Amino acid sequence: SQQGEEDPQALSIQEGENATMNCSYKTSINNLQWYRQNSGRGLVHLILIRSNEREKHSGRLRVTLDTSKKSSSLLITASRAADTASYFCATVTLFLPVADRGSTLGRLYFGRGTQLTVWP
Amino acid sequence: DGGITQSPKYLFRKEGQNVTLSCEQNLNHDAMYWYRQDPGQGLRLIYYSQIVNDFQKGDIAEGYSVSREKKESFPLTVTSAQKNPTAFYLCASSTLRDTITDTQYFGPGTRLTVL
């Protein structure tokens, strides 16, 4: 499977603690993205890291990528109850030719997600 | 207010009926996608469309059909041939100008239940 696989499946922490989620994948990638999904809602893009990058920050989020181990981690620092959600990694590996455009379209492969619960 | 909308939010269908899920975007995105999400699972790609009047099958296209007559709209029909259609359906879009990043923007989803 080309899908990313998140670990752990579920994570429960107290407010103020850090939350770390991991993602492993099998094939080479162009980039890896993390999305968040609140219960019963659509996904929201959080952060993207390219295959030639090792670390990226966005606010309280820190993403690392180790292409030699085919793994990524998402760290949420100083977590809040509002961070409670499912977090998915998505790898972009397969580029699809776009007819008459001379460009390509990346295909996202999603993992099963990590359910994060942050207790007040 | 730019965004991607889906309707209805909840949909109930009797066995043997076809139903159509709506997806509209005003982000001026060329590419649109339909995913299916089952409980505790990731998203699986049903169909995608790169430009108007063109669409391609994803991993689980059997029992589904789509059309792309307008750039803004990408409706999904769940046919009676889909054996287990109860699921959460998500529509997404992305721009082709920024293909390398391929960030996708998601709608709020439609929960389909077959009675």
Residues in A closer than 8 angstroms to B6, CB to CB, are 42
Nearest to B80 by CA among B24, B2, B20: B20
Instruction: Out of B31, B50, B108, name the one closest to residue A42 (CB).
Output: B108
Q: What is the pLDDT of residue B2?
A: 61
- Taking only the tens place, the pLDDT of each residue in A3-50 is 778 889 999 999 999 999 999 999 888 889 999 999 999 999 999 999
Handedness of CA B41, A86, B10, B60 (dihedral sign): negative
Q: What is the pLDDT of residue B65?
A: 97
Q: CB A99 to CB B104 under 8 A?
A: no
- Taking only the tens place, the pLDDT of each residue in B29-79 is 989 999 999 988 889 999 999 889 999 899 999 999 999 999 999 999 999
Q: CB A112 to CB B42 under 8 A?
A: yes
Would an 8 Å CB–CB cutoff place B85 in contact with chain A? no
Q: What is the pLDDT of residue A27?
A: 86
What is the residue type of B10?
Answer: Y
Pairing of strands A5-7, B4-7: unpaired
Q: How far is B59 from chain A (nearest CA, A)?
A: 11
Average pLDDT of chain B is: 91
Instruction: Give the whole-angstrom CA distance, residue B47 versus residue A85.
Output: 26
Instruction: Give the whole-angstrom CA distance, residue B29 versus residue B4.
Output: 10
- Taking only the tens place, the pLDDT of each residue in A66-112 is 999 999 999 999 999 999 999 999 998 766 665 555 556 677 889 99
Q: Which two tokens stand for residue B43?
A: 């998203």
Q: CB B107 to CB A42 under 8 A?
A: yes
Q: CB B90 to CB A108 under 8 A?
A: no
